[in-house]
Amino acid sequence: MNFDILTTFPGAFDSYFGISILARAIKKGFIKVTPYDLRQYALDKHKTVDDRPYGGGAGMVMKADVVFKALSAIKKRKVQSEKRKLKERIILLTPQGKVFSQKHAARLAKYDRLILVSGRYEGFDERIRKMVDEEISIGDYVLSGGELPAMVVIDSVARLIPGILGKDESLAWESFSKAKVNTPELRRLFGKAKKEIGSNLLEYPQYTRPESITMGSRKHKVPQVLLTGNHEKVFRWRQQEALKRTKIRRPDL
């Protein structure tokens, strides 16, 4: 899968995509991440990408003509999966977009190419919105630019691509992922819940060595069921704990 990022700070991505899972995914060819410097598509010798807003006001606005030129050039570049018609999506990263979720990540993971437009300054010339397929926000707050949101989107989408995490079951019980927990015990726990429940649950509690630790005057042990080696009991315990945690912390899910 290809991720193209239009940004005024292409160097901001070097560190994050040079480490851990994403670095290995890039090295193995699962994904390709390419930042494009917006200033390289500027139309004047000063490499101007923003200007004062018509009608007055504070801040500077990103220029539509520069973004249009950049997007036109990027879309012409060859990427992976050229043997068939490329399935791509252009995304504007903005606080005014729809709030990003795991459902969005799963949907976007089905594309061959995502082009992410990451802004700076006061905002975008409104005409830029006509150049994109959708607008995404990573939350109800404002950042200095779209570089961090671009990293968030790429990370969450890339890890859903088969092979990147090594084992597909690693995704099965992550928070907000779908897991079918259709058991009589859990239906009794949740009363008149739907026959098939379990979408968008928070992840169950996790433990590792040591088996017991002392914090202050109290000992805290790993739940005994996790030490039994009985996979069916462990699975049922995890189902139950995921539902309990979701009901308490995120009943809206």
User: Residues 178, 163: one domain?
Assistant: no
User: Residues 162, 236: one domain?
Assistant: no
d(C-alpha 187, C-alpha 197), whole Å: 8
Answer whether 49's CB lies under 8 Å from 39's CB: yes
Residues in Cβ contact with 155 at an 8 Å cutoff, skipping those fewer than 6 apart: 22
Answer whether 168's CB lies under 8 Å from 162's CB: yes
Task: Give residue 44's region: left, alpha or beta (phi > 0; psi -120 to 50).
Answer: beta
User: Residues 41, 97: one domain?
Assistant: yes
The DSSP secondary structure of 54-78, one letter per residue, reads: TT--SS-EE-HHHHHHHHHHHHHS-
| Mean pLDDT on 227-250 | 92
Q: What's the pLDDT at 168? A: 55
CATH code at 39? 3.40.1280.10
**C-alpha neighbours within 13 Å on the C-beta side of residue 101:** 8
User: Residues 34, 105: one domain?
Assistant: yes
Alpha carbon dihedral 207, 213, 214, 219, in 10-degree steps, equals 70
User: Residues 195, 115: one domain?
Assistant: no
User: Residues 213, 243: one domain?
Assistant: yes
- Regarding beta strands 88-99 and 134-137, do their DSSP bridges make them parallel or antiparallel, or are they unpaired? parallel
Q: Provide the token pair at 119.
A: 């802004």
Higher-pLDDT residue of 206 and 197 is: 206
Where among 146, 168, 190 does a domain terminate?
168
User: Residues 119, 77: one domain?
Assistant: yes
Tens-place pLDDT, residues 95-149: 999 999 999 999 999 999 999 999 887 789 999 999 999 999 999 999 999 999 9
For the chain, the domain total comes to 2
Q: How many CB atoms lie within 10 A of CB 250?
A: 13
User: Residues 164, 185: one domain?
Assistant: no
Where among 115, 136, 168 does a domain terminate?
168
Q: What's the pLDDT at 195? A: 42
User: Residues 8, 63: one domain?
Assistant: yes
Largest CA distance in the chain: 70
Tens-place pLDDT, residues 151-200: 999 999 999 998 898 655 555 556 566 544 445 554 554 444 444 444 57
Q: What's the pLDDT at 194? A: 44
d(C-alpha 197, C-alpha 28), whole Å: 37
User: Residues 157, 195: one domain?
Assistant: no
Tens-place pLDDT, residues 55-94: 998 889 999 999 999 999 999 987 655 566 789 999 999 9
User: Residues 82, 157: one domain?
Assistant: yes
Q: Provide the token pair at 229.
A: 């080696």
CATH code at 242? 1.10.1270
Look up residue 184 and give its DSSP letter.
Answer: H
Domain of residue 184: give its range: 173-249
User: Which amino acid is it at 203?
Assistant: E
Tens-place pLDDT, residues 217-236: 999 999 999 999 999 999 89
Where among 168, 183, 213 does a domain terminate?
168
| Residue (of 87, 72, 15, 78) closest to 38 by Cα position | 72
User: Residues 231, 143: one domain?
Assistant: no
Model confidence at 30: pLDDT above 60: yes
